[in-house]
Chain A
Amino acid sequence: MASLVPLTPAVLHVLLALAEGQRHGYAILKDVERQTDGAVRMGPGTLYGTLQRLMEQGLVEEAAGPARPIDERRRYYQLTKSGRAALTVEVERMETLVRTARARRVAVRPSRG
Chain B
Amino acid sequence: MAARSSVADIVYRTLLRLYPVRFQEEFAADMALDFADARQEAWLEEGWIGLLRVWLRAASDVARSLTLQWMRTHIPLVAVVSMAIALSAAAVAQTLVPKEPFFVNLQPHDRDLAALMLLTASVVLVIASTIIFTLWFLRPLLYRGSQRRR
Contact = CB atoms under 8 A, between A and B. Distances in A.
Interface pairs A-B: 7 shortest CB-CB: A43-B61, A45-B65, A48-B27, A44-B31, A44-B34, A45-B61, A26-B34
Interface stretch (A11-19, A68-76, A85-93, A101-109): A68-76
B30 A44 contact: yes
A45 B57 contact: no
Nearest to A75: B30
A29 B62 CA distance: 15
A25 to B, nearest CB: 5
A43 B30 contact: no
B84 interface: no
A44 B35 contact: yes
Given A26-B38, A52-B23, A43 B29 contact: no
Interface of A: 24-26, 29, 41-49, 51-52, 71, 73-75
Majority SS at the chain A contact face:
helix
A45 B30 contact: no
A63 to B, nearest CB: 14
Nearest to A53: B72
B81 interface: no
21 contacts: A25-B30, A26-B34, A26-B38, A29-B38, A42-B61, A43-B58, A43-B62, A43-B65, A44-B30, A45-B19, A45-B31, A45-B64, A45-B65, A46-B61, A48-B23, A48-B30, A49-B69, A51-B27, A52-B23, A73-B29, A75-B30
